[in-house]
């Protein structure tokens, strides 16, 4: 699960090269998707490459409008089915431009063969900020978090189980600290999916690029009493072998601090339970 840009090749094959897209399946409702990166194309909805498109009804919680979080949408085959309905909840833009207008002016000729409005599916856009709302049975908390450009993090709760998603999160350039909103999202969560793009040496050169170090992600998990931490938004230059070493080293540290950590990978499925301790 890579940040910034999709990548391929043997060195990134095991953890995968797709950009951010996570599906949360609570069993009873339509799935909730975090972000619309290139992984969306592979999201299971009962189809294969040779089959006709199947309808999809669900919601997307969109953190922000950077390319790596949008690019999967026009390649999501279910957009070709007229019964598909996707509700996209994304951050209200400071300049007043609607999210619909952003998509309409980015997914269109000459940068894409057709306009997004020409897909058969219904796509509804919802502008949100620091909000608390429900999607079906799922409680959703959205909070603005530091990044480059207006960006949200999300906390979803269903069946007394909570998942938090901060894919792109600017670490402070100095002492570790959390905004009130970010802390609200993370506190006591069962699974924290968190930006882990940089090593400290990389962060020293890119401290204003909007991302976190692995160490900051570990600190966020510990300081908010998260039960599990999924390292996410891996730097595209990070090899799988390097990730293995990092994840192995951090697993021991996390165990001593009372939580679990692992490196997220394409097509990884994680069962989340409030009973995990
Ligand atoms: Zn990103
Ligand atoms: Zn970003």
**Ligand 1 center to residue 108 CA distance, Å?**
22
Task: Report yes or no on 115 lying in a domain.
Answer: yes
What would the pLDDT profile of 104-125 be if each residue is shown by its tens digit?
A: 999 999 999 999 999 999 999 9
Nearest-angstrom CA–CA distance, 91 and 210: 16
Q: What is the pLDDT of residue 29?
A: 64
Residues with CB in 5 Å of ion ligand 1: 3, 68, 168
Structural contact between residues 3 and 197, judged by C-beta atoms closer than 8 angstroms: yes
Nearest-angstrom CA–CA distance, 33 and 24: 6
Q: What is the pLDDT of residue 53?
A: 86
**Ligand 1 center to residue 1 CA distance, Å?**
10
Task: Report yes or no on 219 lying in a domain.
Answer: yes
- Structure-token match 């192995």, residue found: 248
Phi then psi dihedrals of residue 248, to 5 deg: -65, -45
For the chain, residues with pLDDT lower than 50 are 276-277
CATH, residue 251:
3.60.15.10
- Give the total number of structural domains in the chain: 1
**Ligand 2 center to residue 143 CA distance, Å?**
15
Indicate which ligand has the atom closest to the C-alpha of 151: 2
Tokens of 118: 């020409």
116 in the Ramachandran plot: left (φ > 0), alpha (ψ -120 to 50) or beta? Answer: alpha
For 126, residues 6+ apart whose C-beta sits below 8 A from its C-beta are: 87, 88, 89, 90
Task: Report yes or no on 4 lying in a domain.
Answer: no
**Ligand 2 center to residue 51 CA distance, Å?**
33
Task: Report yes or no on 277 lying in a domain.
Answer: no
Give the DSSP letter string of 254-273.
HHHHT-EEEE--TT------
Indicate which ligand has the atom closest to the C-alpha of 197: 1
Task: Report yes or no on 94 lying in a domain.
Answer: yes
Indicate which ligand has the atom closest to the C-alpha of 20: 1
Q: What is the pLDDT of residue 178?
A: 98
> What is the domain range of residue 67?
10-263
**Ligand 2 center to residue 48 CA distance, Å?**
30
Q: What is the pLDDT of residue 276?
A: 44
- How far are the Cα atoms of 39, 47, 65, 159, 169 from residue 17, in angstroms, in the given order? 9, 21, 19, 32, 20
Q: Is the peptide bond before 110 cis (omega within 30 degrees of 0)?
A: yes
Q: What is the pLDDT of residue 270?
A: 93
């Amino acid at each position: 699960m890579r940040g910034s840009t999709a990548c391929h090749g043997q060195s990134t094959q095991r953890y995968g090269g797709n950009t951010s897209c996570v599906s949360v399946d609570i069993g009873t409702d339509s799935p909730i998707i975090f972000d619309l990166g290139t992984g969306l194309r592979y999201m299971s909805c009962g189809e294969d490459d040779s089959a006709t498109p199947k309808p999809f009804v669900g919601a997307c919680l969109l953190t922000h409008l950077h390319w790596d979080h949008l690019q999967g949408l026009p390649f999501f085959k279910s957009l070709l089915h007229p019964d598909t309905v996707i509700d996209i909840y994304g951050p209200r833009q400071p300049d007043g431009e609607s999210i619909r207008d952003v998509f309409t002016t980015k997914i269109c000729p000459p940068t894409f063969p057709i306009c997004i409005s020409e897909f058969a599916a219904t796509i509804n856009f919802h502008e949100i900020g620091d909000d608390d709302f429900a999607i079906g049975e799922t409680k959703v908390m959205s909070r603005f978090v530091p990044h480059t450009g207006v960006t949200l993090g999300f906390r979803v709760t269903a069946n007394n189980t909570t998942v938090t998603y901060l894919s792109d999160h600017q670490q402070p350039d100095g002492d570790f600290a959390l905004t009130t909103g970010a802390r609200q999202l993370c506190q006591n969560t069962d699974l924290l999916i968190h930006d882990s793009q940089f090593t400290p040496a990389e962060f020293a050169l890119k401290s204003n690029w909007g991302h976190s170090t692995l160490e900051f992600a570990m600190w966020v998990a510990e300081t908010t009493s998260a039960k599990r931490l999924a390292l996410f938004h891996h730097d595209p230059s990070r090899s799988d072998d390097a990730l293995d070493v990092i994840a192995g080293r951090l697993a021991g540290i996390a165990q001593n601090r009372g939580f679990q950590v692992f490196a997220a990978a394409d097509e990884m499925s994680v069962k989340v339970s409030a009973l995990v301790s």
